[in-house]
Structure 1
Amino acid sequence: MIDDASRPTGPEDFIAALNALYDSCNRPPYRKLAEISEHLGDLYGRRDLPSLSTTGIFDVLAGRRKRAPSSAWVASFVLCCQRRAWETGVRADDPGIASLPPWQARLRAARAASRPAPPAASPVPRTLAPPETEPVRPVRLTESQKATVAGYGPHGRALLARAAAGDADALYRVAVLLGTDPARGGESAPLLIEAAAAGHPGALDLLDASPDGLDAGHAARHAHRLGDRAGRGGTAADRRVALVYYKAAVQGGRLEAAFAITEILQHADEPPGG
């Protein structure tokens, strides 16, 4: 794990950290890393990550590129280094995707440090805007996954459209809805990792809580939280969205969400002005 105190402050420091990882893995040949990158889908269920090239690895580690590498490239590089180190006995185990959230946080810190400081004048008031994230890479859902999410009604179908357009928050919510099904936790993990790589705090939190595979109970906790957040909106549309997440929370074993469902349905049955 990478602790907050040791995070780098800019792209050059981040590249130095990648080199340190590479050194700690006994400097595996670039071609071996490139070969492993072709099989990340089979090894970790990450079919959305780019393959590495020997030239690309050299350019990044040598600091030949002006910008920090993409979050997807970093994920590929870290997974390949760890895998090769485990295969050759340099490391006792392969942490796999559990190591990715702190690396992505480190990358975001490096990017933030490289941005020019905003003008001191005219401070922007705080708002309740959604978390600032990068667009996610295109992620293909299976027909079964799409059917499950669409089964949650208009909100589920809207999430699918937003996720297909690269919305990290929508991808996180899709993962939460799927993850509350104990049989589908493994399907949700790759979706969460992609949302986390784009900087989504909820996805990062859920991954940290479930390093060995998405747990339905943890997903249900997030679903309950999303239901509470939607329910605070006060409109009928907000309550319908809240019902989606409360129902998912119940499926994941958070039975107290059933009381929230009952309250919403009772409110819907009340006569106007009653």
Structure 2
Amino acid sequence: MIDDASRPAGPDAFIRALNALYDSCNRPPYRRLAEVSEHLGELYGRRDLPSLSTTGIFDVLAGRRKRLPTAAWVASFVLCCQRRAWETGVRSGDPGTASLPAWQARLRAARSPGRTVPPPRPPADTESTGPGRALAPPEGEPVRPVRLTESQRATVAGYGPRGRALLDRAAAGDADALYRVAVLLGTDPARGGETVPLLIEAAAAGHPGALDLLDASPDGLDAAEAARRAHLLGDQAGRGGAAADGEAALVYYKAAVQGGRLDAAFAITEILRHADGAPGGRGPG
């Protein structure tokens, strides 16, 4: 199968795999793929993906670019090929976003030849997919359930009620929760490699932050980058006046400190100081 991630990795092999996908879809005209790419938001709820250009498609498939395409470009190209093949009767079904984890895993392997790539879960059966069928869950809805290891669960649960709530959402396949769990785990320098399968699933479900991290960190999330992302999540949770969520902000700031962001310790101090000073308030547990 084209999505068999066990084939030899490497940039050239990856470009050949993209060409094989294109051939298997009966080589649709580049302009048709470009047209489909303009509607990925309507078709799959993927507004984060780039539109394709005929020149860009040609350059990638011809191997004329020095670097491999981005994770977002690959997702866009795969979805457009599959869709066009189904529309023209070349394929009996459109797997939609279910095929993307395998392609993201293959892209990562191509960027790091020789490294072990966690095998992606197989996509669900798509033979019955037809007009009017939902080809992907709406934005914000859970995707396929994800199993975390006991060690991963223990680490995230150690962040308290907010960590345990994240685990429940991540286990159900919530893309944003998977991204956040990956960030929390990634602030531990020894666990960067564990973040890749989680980021692949989150990216396949349409999370733009996960797509960015896969492009920037193909070998696993760097602790410093994870700490930066955790700090941003803490800032987001702490903003909003009355709507601010200090407990959630503490979770991400603590993770940021673990990843080396010492300025997050000051943010933690400020949150606890304001909580202790509030009328009738007390510091979060």
- Which residue number in structure 1 is paired with residue 174 of structure 2? 167
Matching of residue 10 in structure 1 with residue 36 in structure 2: yes
Counterparts in 2 of 1:92 and 1:77: CA distance versus 1, 3 Å: closer
Q: How does 1:132-151 map to 2 (within 5 A)?
A: 132=139, 135-151=142-158
Counterparts in 2 of 1:208 and 1:133: CA distance versus 1, 3 Å: farther
Q: State whether residues 234 and 250 of structure 2, in contact with CA within 8 Å, keep that contact through their aligned partners in structure 1.
A: yes
Q: What do you get for the CA RMSD once the two structures are aligned?
A: 4.5
Q: How far is the alpha carbon of 1:207 from its aligned partner? A: 1.9
Q: State whether residues 162 and 248 of structure 2, in contact with CA within 8 Å, keep that contact through their aligned partners in structure 1.
A: yes
CA distance in 2, matches of 1:92, 1:209: 12
- Which residue number in structure 1 is paired with residue 22 of structure 2? none
Counterparts in 2 of 1:96 and 1:135: CA distance versus 1, 3 Å: farther
CA distance in 1, matches of 2:245, 2:192: 27
**Cα distance per residue 1:45-73 (max 9 Å; x no partner):** xxxxxxxxxxx9xx87x852366433342
Matching of residue 153 in structure 1 with residue 160 in structure 2: yes
Q: State whether residues 133 and 198 of structure 1, in contact with CA within 8 Å, keep that contact through their aligned partners in structure 2.
A: no
Q: How far is the alpha carbon of 1:157 from its aligned partner? A: 0.5
Q: State whether residues 105 and 200 of structure 2, in contact with CA within 8 Å, keep that contact through their aligned partners in structure 1.
A: no
**Cα distance per residue 1:64-108 (max 9 Å; x no partner):** 23664333424435766997xx8xxxx9968998xxxxxxxxxxx
Q: How many residues align?
A: 200
Counterparts in 2 of 1:22 and 1:230: CA distance versus 1, 3 Å: closer
Q: How far is the alpha carbon of 1:255 from its aligned partner? A: 1.1
- Which residue number in structure 2 is paired with residue 38 of structure 1? none
Identity %: 66
**Cα distance per residue 1:115-167 (max 9 Å; x no partner):** 9xxxxxxxxxxxxxxx9356332211000100100110000000111112221
Q: State whether residues 233 and 252 of structure 2, in contact with CA within 8 Å, keep that contact through their aligned partners in structure 1.
A: yes
Counterparts in 2 of 1:23 and 1:210: CA distance versus 1, 3 Å: closer
CA distance in 1, matches of 2:276, 2:108: 56
Structure 1 counterpart of 2:250, from 243, 250, 255: 243
Q: State whether residues 101 and 201 of structure 2, in contact with CA within 8 Å, keep that contact through their aligned partners in structure 1.
A: no
- Which residue number in structure 1 is paired with residue 268 of structure 2? 261
Q: State whether residues 97 and 205 of structure 2, in contact with CA within 8 Å, keep that contact through their aligned partners in structure 1.
A: yes
Q: Structure 2-normalised TM-score?
A: 0.57
Structure 1 counterpart of 2:102, from 66, 76, 90: 76
- Which residue number in structure 1 is paired with residue 90 of structure 2? 64
- Which residue number in structure 2 is paired with residue 232 of structure 1? 239
CA distance in 1, matches of 2:211, 2:107: 22
